[in-house]
Amino acid sequence: MLYPLSLLWQGIHRLKQARDERDQYIAPVAVISIGNIVSGGGGKTPLTISIARRLVLEGYQVAVSHRGYRGEFENSLKVVHGSEIDKYSAAVLGDEAFMIAKAVPEIPVAVGKDRKLAIKTLLRLYPKLDLVILDDSLQNRRVRHDLDIITFSSETGIGNGFVLPAGYLREPLSSIRKDSLVVINDKNSDKEAVSELIRIIGKHTDKLFVGFAGFAGLIDHQGNVHEMDELHSKSVFLVSGIASPESFERTARGNGISWKRHFSYPDHYSYKVIDDLLALMKGDPAAWAICTEKDFAKLARHEEIRERILYLKLELNLDREEEFYRLLKERLAQKTH
């Protein structure tokens, strides 16, 4: 019944992109877009962090542009760099923009949805930049992308294969260009789901890679790593405000974490109101909260429970990692010649 609406959505979407491409900004530095075709979380920000770290280690001058969803600078612009991040919170910058800036403090992060303004401002402030990574900007054609990196989740797949509102896709799979790189995030070792995605997406590009989220520890607000056996005498509760709370549960379970209750809030939740969680933890001195890295900064603002909050840190690992970066750097080299 919603299929006719999805055709209308596709038509409007294509018209908008065609309009944007007519007046497209072409940056003097390489622009990498990391985004997804399926609505919801696909592991964009962890991949952005992983790529930025790798390229910085190899000597590239890197910057990141992020919309700063629901943050105070979403409709303006703010560039943060290094120790400046300590002046702001996840609520002000947006949780994912804050997460990038904290994870890779050696690079500037521009926060604001106007990507053209973000790139121009970054180049004015840092004229020696080699590239700008646009996190979550795949459908935005106002800026020319020198490389698109498209993420998929093995948990979500492609749904029924239809475009919104009949399905989960923001645009049809036919929009995947053959020179795009695709990363399928396999959070729970679901080989069958990954194989099916490879079969389907492989019809559009052969540049397919699989990402694995490796457990990197339980981290407190001071950056200390806690051992798993410390949880054995605690009352453990999960806390999340993400697109797929079930995914967080599977990740926690897969790493040997048991819990009494999962406090699941809407995606990008502000954590200003958590009366139920606060009451429980105040009443139980043995209660500890385990959250995602994305949620941690906002949740840790509650000083009365900060000492008993840990986030489950994951690190993205790619199969055929060297091939992935070889293809990426070849595209960067094309921009500079």
Q: Kind and range of the H or E element at 182?
A: strand 181-186
One-letter amino acid of 191: K
**CATH topology assigned to domain 215-314:** Rossmann fold (3.40.50)
Q: What is the per-residue pLDDT for 214?
A: 84
**Strand pairing of 147-153 and 62-66?**
unpaired
Task: List the chain domain ranges.
Answer: 3-214+316-336, 215-314
What are the pLDDT tens digits along the chain (337 aa)? 565 656 665 666 676 666 666 789 999 999 999 999 988 777 899 999 999 999 999 999 999 999 999 999 999 999 999 889 989 999 899 999 999 999 999 999 999 999 999 999 999 999 999 999 999 988 888 999 999 999 999 888 888 877 877 778 888 888 898 999 999 998 776 788 899 999 999 999 999 999 998 888 999 999 999 988 889 889 999 999 998 899 899 989 988 999 999 999 999 999 999 999 999 999 999 999 999 999 999 999 999 999 999 999 988 899 999 999 999 999 999 876 5
* CA separation for the pair 291, 309 (Å, rounded): 7
Q: What is the per-residue pLDDT for 145?
A: 95
CB 65 within 8 A of CB 97: no
- Total-model pTM: 0.90
Q: What is the per-residue pLDDT for 232?
A: 87
Q: Which CATH architecture has domain 3-214+316-336?
A: 3-Layer(aba) Sandwich (3.40)
Residue corresponding to tokens 């502000």: 270
Q: What is the per-residue pLDDT for 271?
A: 95
Residue 265 CA: distances (Å) to CA of 27, 89, 194, 235, 269: 39, 19, 28, 20, 6
Q: Do domains 3-214+316-336 and 215-314 have the same CATH topology?
A: yes
